Amino acid sequence: MTGITSLPGYPVSRPRRLRLLPGLRDLVAEAGLEPRSLMLPVFVSERVAKPVEIESLPGHYYYPPRSQELVKLIQEALDLGVRSFLLFGYPRQKDEEASRAHARDGPVQEAIRSIRRELGYEPVIATDLCICNYHSSGHCGLPGKCRFGDCIDNDSTLELYRRIAVSQAEAGADIIAPSGMMDGQVKAIREALDDNGYWDTAIMAYSAKYASNFYGPFREVLDSAPKWGDRRSYQADPRNARDALVEVALDLQEGADIVMVKPALAYLDIIRLVKERFPYAPLAAYNVSGEYMMVELMARHGYADRRSLMMEVLYAIKRAGADIVITYHALEAARLVKGQ
C-alpha cells in the first residue's frame, strides 16, 4: 500500500471500497457495451434451402439468401438493439472469375434485396468484399506471377474488387468492407463507387488484418482456405505493430470511413495504438471465429461461465478502444445487456 499513496492525485488506499457492491461497480465502470455498437456476421449460402447450423461455429447458421428465416434473424437482432450486420456469401460453386461475387443475383446481393424489401433501411448492412469464398484458388486476390514464381497479383484483383463493390452497392449495401488486403483497394473501391453514383455508400476497411491462426473455424465455414500457399504475402505480419499504423494511414488517405483491426483479442495493443494515433476515425475490431471458439470450448468443458467469459472478452475489446465490435456473440451479449 505504500507506492500508490505517494502518487500525486491518487490518495485512495483502499480500491476495494468501490468494488464491494454491484451498484458501486456499475457506477464506476469505464467500459460499457451497448447493443448498437455490436455488428453481427451473417452467412448467406446458395447451398442450403433452409437454415443449417454451421459445424465450426455452433449457434450460427447458413441462411438461404431469399428466406423468411433470414429476415426473422435480422428482425430479432433489431429488437435486441443490434442494428448492423456483416454479410458473407457462400456461392453454389467457386470459379476462376469469382463470378458469384459480382453477379446481380449473387448470394449477398439477393440477401440484401430481400432484407430491404421487408425491413427497409432500419438494418445497417455491411458486405464483406473479398474473393476467397468465390474464387477456386481460395485466395483473396487473383493468382498471377511475380519475378520469383506464382503469387497473388495485386492490380488485376483491384479491377475485380471494383465490380464487386458496385454490384453490392447497387443491391443496397450501406457499407462495403474490403477484406482482401490488396494495396490500394480502398482507393479503387471509392473511385468505382463514386463513378457509379454511389457517393453515399461507406467503406469499412479491414485495414489491420493480420495473418492469424485465429481464423481457423471461419475458413471451414466458407471453405475459403487457400488451395496453395498461404496469405502471408498480403495480410499483416503478427510481429509488427507498424504494419497496422501504415495500413490504417493509407486506408484513411484513400477514403475509408471506418477502419478495422482483426483479430481482436491477441491484438488489443494494436486496437489501442490505432485509437490513439487516429482518434478521428471510427474503429472496428473483429472478434474472430477462433476467439469465439475459445469461449465456447472453455465453457463447454466447465472451465468458465460462458456468458461471464464472453462479456470479459467484449469489455476488453471496448476498453482497448474499439468503437464497433464485430462479434459472433452479438445477440447473446445484447440479450444479457437487456437482462434477458
**Residues of the shown chain interacting with Zn ion in the complex, contacts defined by CB under 5 A:** 130, 132, 140
Which one-letter DSSP state was computed for residue 49?
A: S
E strand spans, the chain: 38-45, 52-53, 61-63, 84-90, 124-129, 142-146, 149-153, 175-178, 202-209, 258-262, 283-287, 324-327
Give the cell for residue 220.
Answer: 471451414
Q: Is 145 an annotated catalytic residue? A: no
Closest by CA position to 324, among listed 60, 41, 130: 41
182 vs 193 by CB, closer to Zn ion: 182
* Nearer residue to Zn ion within complex by CB, 95 or 305: 95
- DSSP states of 171-199: HT-SEEEE-S--TTHHHHHHHHHHHTT-T
Question: Cell match 456476421: residue?
Answer: 41
Smaller CB separation from Zn ion, 40 or 140: 140
Residue of 262, 275, 318, 338 with catalytic role? 262
Q: Which of 94, 187, 209, 227 is catalytic?
A: 209
Q: What are the φ/ψ torsions at residue 95 (nearest 5 degrees)?
A: -145, -175
Q: Please state the closest distance from residue 67 (CB atom) to Zn ion, in A.
A: 25
CB of 140 to Zn ion, least distance (A): 3
The verdict on whether 318 is a catalytic residue reads: no
Could you say which DSSP state residue 237 is in?
P
Please identify, using beta-carbon distances, which residue of 259 and 331 lies nearer to Zn ion: 259
Shortest Cβ distance from residue 243 to Zn ion (Å)? 17
CB of 120 to Zn ion, least distance (A): 30
Residues with active-site annotation: 209, 262
